[in-house]
Amino acid sequence: MRKLSDEELDEISELAVKSAENFIYSKIPKKEVQDLDIKVELDYHTGLDIDISIDIQIDPLSNPNDNIAEDAVDYAITEIDSYIAKN
């Protein structure tokens, strides 16, 4: 893997958050999401390790997919892989 600049690492972090957020809001209306916290940690020593955690509070009357957070993480990782492959 090539060396990534600090700017690229910031872009990757922002991309992860935006991708996960967009994925969630494409599956659940914003008004049904009571709280959404997305944390991204990047470790770039021997390679790029990405840890994305999503804490989501959804209106109890909503009926979302139980795996929405995990699916959003998977989607964000796919978007990051695509970004790195293009650049």
Q: Residue 75 sits in a domain of what CATH number?
A: 3.30.300.100
With H, G, I as helix, E, B as strand and everything else as coil, classify residue 52. Answer: strand
Q: How many distinct structural domains can be found in the chain?
A: 1
| Structural domain contains residue 81 | yes
Instruction: Please check the confidence at residue 60 and state whether its pLDDT lies above 80.
Output: yes
Which one is predicted more confidently, 25 or 2? 25
Q: What is the pLDDT of residue 36?
A: 97
Angle at 81 between CA 85 and CA 8, to 5 degrees: 75
Please give the model's pTM, rounded to 2 decimal places. Answer: 0.89
Partner residues linked to 40 by β-bridges: 52
What pLDDT does 1 receive? 59
Structural domain includes residue 1 = no
Question: Does residue 80 sit within a domain?
Answer: yes
Distance CA 6, CA 12 (A): 10
> Structure tokens of 86?
């293009």
Q: Which domain holds residue 51?
A: 6-86
- Please report whether residue 78 resides in a domain: yes
Q: Has residue 29 been placed in a domain?
A: yes
